[in-house]
Amino acid sequence: MSDLKWWETAVIYQIYPRSYQDSNGDGIGDLKGITSRLEYIAGLGVDAIWISPFFMSPQRDFGYDISNYCDINPEYGTLADFDEMISKIHDLGMKLMIDIVPAHCSDLHPWFEESRQSRDNPKADWFHWVDPNPDGTVPNNWLSFFGGQAWSWEPRRQQYYLHNFLSEQPNLNHANPEVREALNQVARFWFDRGVDGFRLDAVHTINGDQAPYLDNTANPDFVPGNLPQQQQPFFRQLHDVAQLNQPAIQTFSENYRKIADAYNGDRFLMGEVDGDKGRAMEVSKTFTDTGRLHATYNFDLLTWGGLSVDGLRDAINNAVDVFNGSGRLCFAFSNHDVPRSATRQLAALALGPDQGDAMQLLLLKLETCLIGSSCVYQGEELGLEDVTDIPVEQMQDPWGVKFAPAFLGRDTCRTPMVWEKSNQHGGFSTAESTWLPVSSQHLKRAGLDMAQTDGSIYQQFAQFLAWRKNQPAIMNANTMSTVSGDARTLVFDRISDAQTLRCTFDFDTLTASFEEI
Ligand code: BGC
């Protein structure tokens, strides 16, 4: 038996609820829909499910703009639907993680609606309100991650407010103890309802006492690389001195950890964390120091343009250098924010279109053999490709809508799941049209069909996860050697007292092999 906590080795399946399964024919996925697909997820043998936000929200950033943290957006269902879902998840032997957004809320949250009215209302100090410069311009040079200034003007207060993402996502003022307490209550609300852990959104963008609102400095090492052009101005700056990664984050983390620990010591806090180039690991380490978050979500395998074999090795070794011996990090190859790995990595590894399935399975095996936890994004178990032919008028992601067609944003990885080839919209919905179109390209890989097809990625991955559960080197310790190999292979050992397992990933033959040594 392993002494490790469940989250130290967990394989976590990420659901984007808007696109998983529609149960009421409105073209939008919902909680009842998820409940109806839980056997399919359990069949993979994953340990936990993480569901992206389904709380009350005007959906400007599709749930990452919350207007009530303790209720369900009606298009996703009700709290009763949530209770039914979590109880079935637990019955099937899995844990549930939900996505809490502590850095910002919606501009339609009553907190912000009140705060923006005047400079002296009870919520006046719940956000970052700053006077304009004498010439009327914005307080400093901070930019929003989604493009443009990080400041918007509020005529009633004659002040600017801060938003690191959309202007509809005002940043909460974590220097205010009332704000911190309000967010603490959110944690208790969901833990009391049985949730096993939180994925904490954009923790590095939590802002506390930011005065005197220093300018960000220029990033002397900026190279565009394969960054989308629309994001380049943001990355021309260094943020960790002024705008991001501020001390208020640690106060937040410590508060949340105390709350989590009060629930039988088994609740998990995983923070989405980033830092200026080359600093992500250092920042992640600080965030997971004693008494803070249990783990951070590592972005390094998620690079927009994909990674070569050498790039994969460097990214893994950077993380292992800092975290070896612990389960304090989570790896992922895909999520709802970047082009799907089946497409992105195929190009970066210089593989041909007929090699997609073998590559996808290899990547799934690779990430679930690394130390710590890993997140598998819905559709990776099917090898779903990125969908790049969505007509501009049907695009939804505000980031993509703003910059299309030069930049497609994140709709390409968010199209609805497909379940049965022969069913309308692949079985996702009975509606005439769905919120994003179902890809006809995906139909040949429909989930329920693949779950019953011998040799499919779904089946091979499920068999692999069953094998993984019996490997002491992976399940009982979080220790691995540095990754070696050559331009087409990655080789490392997983090591426990009982077993040393040599893991070899060959990107020419697209096979993984394992040997006890
Ligand atoms: C989420 C994004 C979201 C952003 C702002 C993230 O990192 O994953 O989907 O747009 O935070 O909340």
State whether the beta carbon of 449 lies less than 6 angstroms from ligand 1: no
Q: What is the pLDDT of residue 406?
A: 87
Q: Report, at the CATH architecture level, how domain 6-103+177-207+247-473 is classified.
A: Alpha-Beta Barrel (3.20)
DSSP per residue, 283-326 = HHHHHTSTTS-SEEE--TT--TT---HHHHHHHHHHHHHHHTT-
For the chain, the structural domain boundaries read 6-103+177-207+247-473
pLDDT in tens, 57-96: 999 999 999 999 999 999 999 999 999 999 999 999 999 9
Mutate to test the pocket of ligand 1, among 19, 52, 162, 201 (most ligand atoms within 8 A of CB): 201
State whether the beta carbon of 101 lies less than 6 angstroms from ligand 1: yes
State whether the beta carbon of 61 lies less than 6 angstroms from ligand 1: yes
pLDDT in tens, 276-295: 888 889 999 999 999 999 99
State whether the beta carbon of 168 lies less than 6 angstroms from ligand 1: no
Q: What is the pLDDT of residue 1?
A: 62
Per-residue pLDDT for 226 more than 90?
A: no
pLDDT in tens, 357-396: 999 999 999 999 999 999 999 999 999 999 999 999 999 9
Comparing C-alpha atoms, which of 499, 457, 509 is closest to residue 476? Answer: 499
Residue nearest to atom 1 of ligand 1 (CA): 201
Q: What is the pLDDT of residue 227?
A: 74
| Residue of 78 and 227 predicted with greater confidence | 78
What mean pLDDT value characterizes the chain? Answer: 96
Helix (H, G, I), strand (E, B) or coil at 347: helix
Mutate to test the pocket of ligand 1, among 337, 375, 377, 396 (most ligand atoms within 8 A of CB): 337
Mutate to test the pocket of ligand 1, among 19, 54, 61 (most ligand atoms within 8 A of CB): 61
Q: What is the pLDDT of residue 278?
A: 83
Residue nearest to atom 5 of ligand 1 (CA): 64
Which positions are annotated as active-site residues?
Answer: 201, 272
Per-residue pLDDT for 225 more than 80?
A: no
Q: What is the pLDDT of residue 97?
A: 98
> How distant, in Å, are the alpha carbons of 211, 273, 383 from that of 164?
16, 14, 33
Residue nearest to atom 7 of ligand 1 (CA): 202
| Residue 118: CB atoms within 10 Å | 11
**How much distance in Å is there from the Cα of 202 to the middle of ligand 1?**
6
CB 251 within 8 A of CB 174: yes
- Work out the pLDDT band at 231, boundaries 50, 70, 90: confident
